[in-house]
Amino acid sequence: MIGSGNVATQLGISLVKKGFNIRQVYSKTLANAEVLAQHLNAYSTCEFSEIQTNADLYIVAVSDAILLSVIEQMPNVKGTVVHTAGSMSIDLLIKFNRHGVFYPFQTFTKERAIDFGKVPILLEANNQEYYTEMQYFAKQISPIVMSCDSAQRQQIHLAAVFASNFTNHMYAIAHEILKRNDISFDVLKPLIMETALKTETLNPLKAQTGPAVRGDNNVINKHLALLDDNDELSVLYSMLSKRIAKLDNQPKADEKQKDK
């Protein structure tokens, strides 16, 4: 396991639970490597020169910002080398004969356990034989395994930033608003859960509610007045409201065009 962050931690723990033997954990910070290695019953190192070269698989689970640098410093190895980055090309691994991408499509934190049985794993390999081996490996931890090339994976990652990262930031904004008024964030949790559950049965456009989709400018103006002391949030609120209204009107415009 090359890396000791969120993905490396949760993926490593899951693999060990499934009976895989992780020999070694590399991290640029030895203390971090040691912490994860203890969980995985593995050796730890912070030196590229100490990375064992005869393992079957090397999972490079580091941040995008240092991925290329880590790959360039890794020694030549006999096994398959994969990275776990959603937005990075398979071509970064071209120095290795056997290489691919093993992208677990989920949001990870060290503190929260993940059920990999519900995590889609997106695969790409530079050779069909290697892909078949990776597919067999991936299915040991998740039944949801998909072939996905680098261009497709980048689009999925882009969509994920909107669906997860930006959505979570909206929760943070909501938390700030409530905290300023001595209201617990817990009041929003049933609403958040119901909004998420709707996506299982409804197209998000069909599930949209709120003043923008209703064209209720009276409520929108009241909300903007409440945000008057925060120009940044006022601009964000207005932009999102206009975008919602525009998307809601688009199907109606398309229907009118069909009628003509």
Per residue in 162-186, pLDDT tens? 999 999 999 999 999 999 999 999 9
Asked whether residue 83 falls in the same domain as residue 108, the answer is yes
Mean pLDDT, the chain, whole residue set: 93
Asked whether residue 102 falls in the same domain as residue 198, the answer is no
DSSP-assigned states of every residue in 13-52: HHHHHTT----EEE-SSHHHHHHHHHHHT-EEES-GGGS-
Asked whether residue 65 falls in the same domain as residue 181, the answer is no
Asked whether residue 26 falls in the same domain as residue 136, the answer is yes
d(C-alpha 2, C-alpha 27), whole Å: 6
Asked whether residue 141 falls in the same domain as residue 158, the answer is no
CATH number of the domain encompassing residue 41: 3.40.50.720
How much is the average pLDDT of 10-26? Answer: 95
Hey, which bits of 66-138 come out as E strands?
80-83, 99-104, 121-125
d(C-alpha 246, C-alpha 161), whole Å: 21
User: What's the pLDDT score for residue 169?
Assistant: 97
- Burial class from Cβ neighbours inside 10 Å (0-12, 13-18, 19+) for residue 154 reads middle
| Phi and psi, residue 125, nearest 5° | -145, 160
Asked whether residue 144 falls in the same domain as residue 18, the answer is yes
Domain count, the chain: 2
User: What's the pLDDT score for residue 247?
Assistant: 87
Instruction: State the residue range of the domain holding 132.
Output: 6-148
Asked whether residue 103 falls in the same domain as residue 21, the answer is yes
Whether 260 maps to a domain, the answer reads: no
Whether 75 maps to a domain, the answer reads: yes
Confidence class for position 90, pLDDT limits 50, 70, 90: very high
Asked whether residue 61 falls in the same domain as residue 177, the answer is no
Q: What is the pLDDT of residues 193-217, one digit of tens each?
A: 999 999 999 999 999 999 999 999 9
Asked whether residue 133 falls in the same domain as residue 54, the answer is yes
Question: By percentage, how much of the chain surpasses pLDDT 70?
Answer: 96
Residue 6 in tokens: 């969120």
d(C-alpha 62, C-alpha 159), whole Å: 21
User: Domain boundary at 148, 172, 203, which?
Assistant: 148
How much is the average pLDDT of 115-128? Answer: 94
User: What's the pLDDT score for residue 248?
Assistant: 73
User: Domain boundary at 128, 148, 168, which?
Assistant: 148
How much is the average pLDDT of 60-89? Answer: 95
Asked whether residue 55 falls in the same domain as residue 137, the answer is yes
User: What's the pLDDT score for residue 250?
Assistant: 64
pTM of the full predicted structure? Answer: 0.83
For residue 253, pLDDT over 60 is answered with no
Whether 257 maps to a domain, the answer reads: no
Asked whether residue 173 falls in the same domain as residue 221, the answer is yes
CATH number of the domain encompassing residue 212: 1.10.1040.20
Whether 254 maps to a domain, the answer reads: no
Asked whether residue 240 falls in the same domain as residue 183, the answer is yes
For residue 256, pLDDT over 60 is answered with no
How much is the average pLDDT of 212-232? Answer: 92
User: What's the pLDDT score for residue 147?
Assistant: 96
User: Domain boundary at 148, 178, 205, which?
Assistant: 148
- Residue 82 contacts residue 134 (beta carbons within 8 Å): yes
